[in-house]
Structures are given as C-alpha cells and as structure tokens.
C-alpha cells in the first residue's frame, strides 16, 4: 500500500506511532513499580507514590518516547547503511518504517529492559502477596475479626497486582510477534511480506484496546469513568461520583500511578 500524504507527514505519523508504542511499554513498567511498592511496603506507599511522583513518571515516559522517536525518524539515523534497500522496498509515495541493525538492537533493548524489569517486579509482587495471604489466614484462625484496615488494604493491593499482571501477560502476547518480525527483518533483509507485517502491526496496536477492557472487568470505578468519557453519559450523578472519588484520592494521598495512566 502507498502513502499519499507527503513525506513530512509520513515522518510525523511514524514518529507518533513509535512514541505511542514506547510510551505504552514504559507506562506498563512504571505501573509494575507502583504495584511493587504498594504490595511490599503498603504503609510507606502513600508517602512515596504521591500525585507529583506519579506525574513525574508519566512525564518521563512521554518525554523520552517522543524525543527518541522523533529524533530517530527525522534525522534519518535509522536508514543509515540501508538506503538502497529502502529505495528497493518502497513504492512511489510509500510510508514505511525500516530500521538498520544498530537501531533494531537499540529499539529491542528499549523493549526488553522494561519487559524484564516488569517480569522481575511481578515475580517479587506475587511472592510477597502469597506470603501475605498465608499470614492473614493464620491470623484469622487466631482472632475473631481479621477484617482490619491493613487486611483490606492488602487485599485491594493484591487485586491490583493481579489485574496488572493480566495486563502484562496480554502485553507479552500482543507484542512478541512484532518484536520477532522486526529483529528477523533487520538481519535477513526484510523478508516478511508487507501484508503479514501490517497484520502483525495492527495486532500489536490492539493491545491498547484490550487494556481498558481488562481494567473494566475488575474495577467498577473504571467502568464508570469509561462510561463518562466514551459514552459522554448525560447523568450528572456518575460525574459527581467520579469527582468525589478523585478528591478522596487526592485528600488521602492515595492516587496511584494506576489511576493516572491512560491506556
């Protein structure tokens, strides 16, 4: 398929495409950091994971993604050494993102480092959550009432860890084919047929559509927020509930990175 909107807009489109992808990866990694602190140190968590801290993580994710993507695409660094191949594979007016081996390796590292960081943190999270569950069960056998504030907080944070863990698994499933194809093409002269590549790319993009569905299944407040945002629900009560929830989180210092992330 050919591109009919000019080279400048093609580069802008490609830069945004990469920015959104990397931002999604970094957000998922930062959420795992948030869950790790929440589960392993719930008493200190409200002091560490405040609104400014969450905003800083979000700013870092977006700023780095945008600067990296636009600099790579607009400087032409990704085409160095493969200009003839780019010309051979391109049609008149085409808009294709091709990376040389150097940038493929760097881009792969930008994917693998957050990925393995996330996996390592979630391994620790689930180990701690399992240990906490055993401790709560032992305490419930010795006391009549185990439904204390700390118990409720612990259960809530374990639920958040489970939900985001499902999101991580979905991320691996949707991103693995694209990563394999990009690495293979860079070292074997782009042997993947264009149609197959487009299918894999859109399969990867669909991960961003799956994440809101995952959170909607587990969190009623997320469903209400989606109802207000997507459907522009006219009933004022939903909006009032959402505003009260946001104010409550701000007051208690409990606005987590999960709450701020836009999937």
The pLDDT value given to residue 151:
59
Residues 236 and 197 in one domain: no
Residue 253, pLDDT score: 43
Q: Is the pLDDT higher at 188 or at 236?
A: 188
The pLDDT of residue 159? 63
226 and 249 fall within a common domain = yes
2-48 pLDDT, tens digit each: 667 777 888 898 889 889 888 988 988 888 888 788 877 877 888 88
> Above pLDDT 70, what percent of the chain?
65
110 and 231 fall within a common domain: no
Query: Is 263 inside a domain boundary?
Result: no
The answer to whether residue 248 is domain-embedded is yes
Are 109 and 235 part of one and the same domain? no
To the question of pTM greater than 0.75 for the whole model, the response is no
- Tell me what pLDDT residue 65 has: 93
Q: Indicate if 108 and 191 belong to the same structural domain.
A: yes
* Shared domain check, 163 and 251: no
Domain of 24, CATH number, reads: 1.20.1070.10
Q: Are residues 148 and 18 in the same domain?
A: yes
Other beta carbons within 10 angstroms of residue 169's beta carbon come to 12
**180 shares its domain with 132:** yes
How much is the pLDDT for 56? 92
Q: Are residues 159 and 241 in the same domain?
A: no
**Residue 62 lies in domain:** 7-215
Residue 241 lies in a domain: yes
User: Is residue 127 located within the same domain as residue 173?
Assistant: yes
Instruction: Name which of 60-64, 127-131, 139-143 the model is least confident about.
Output: 139-143
- Please check whether residues 92 and 204 belong to one and the same domain: yes
Instruction: Give mean pLDDT, residues 141-167.
Output: 60
pLDDT at 145 over 70: no
**Average pLDDT, stretch 158-176?**
74
Total domain count for the chain? 2
Together in a domain, 20 and 116: yes
Q: Stretch 41-70: mean pLDDT, rounded?
A: 87
Q: Which residue has the higher pLDDT, 83 or 254?
A: 83
Region 236-249: mean pLDDT is 49
Band of residue 93 on the pLDDT scale cut at 50, 70, 90: low
Does 177 fall in a domain?
yes
């Amino acid at each position: 398929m050919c591109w009919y909107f000019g080279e400048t807009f093609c580069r802008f489109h490609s830069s945004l495409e990469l920015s959104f992808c990397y931002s999604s990866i970094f957000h998922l990694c930062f959420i795992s950091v948030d869950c790790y602190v929440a589960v392993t140190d719930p008493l200190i968590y409200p002091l560490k994971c405040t609104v400014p801290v969450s905003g800083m993580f979000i700013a870092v994710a977006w700023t780095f993604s945008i600067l990296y993507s636009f600099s790579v695409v607009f400087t032409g660094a990704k085409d160095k050494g493969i200009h003839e191949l780019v010309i051979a594979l391109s049609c008149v007016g085409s808009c294709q993102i091709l990376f040389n081996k150097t940038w493929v390796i760097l881009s792969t590292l930008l994917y693998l480092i957050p990925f393995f960081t996330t996996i390592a943190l979630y391994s620790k999270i689930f180990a701690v959550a399992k240990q906490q569950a055993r401790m709560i069960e032992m305490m419930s056998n010795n006391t009549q009432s185990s439904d204390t504030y700390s118990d409720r907080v612990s259960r809530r944070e374990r639920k958040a860890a489970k939900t985001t863990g499902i999101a991580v698994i979905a991320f691996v499933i949707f991103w693995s084919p694209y990563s394999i194809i990009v690495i293979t093409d860079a070292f074997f002269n782009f042997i993947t047929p264009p149609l197959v590549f487009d299918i894999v790319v859109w399969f990867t993009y669909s991960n961003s559509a799956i994440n809101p569905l995952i959170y909607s299944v587990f969190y009623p407040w997320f469903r209400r927020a989606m109802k207000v945002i997507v459907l522009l629900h006219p009933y004022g009560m939903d909006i009032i509930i959402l505003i009260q929830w946001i104010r409550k989180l701000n007051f208690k210092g409990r606005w987590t990175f999960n709450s701020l992330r836009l999937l």
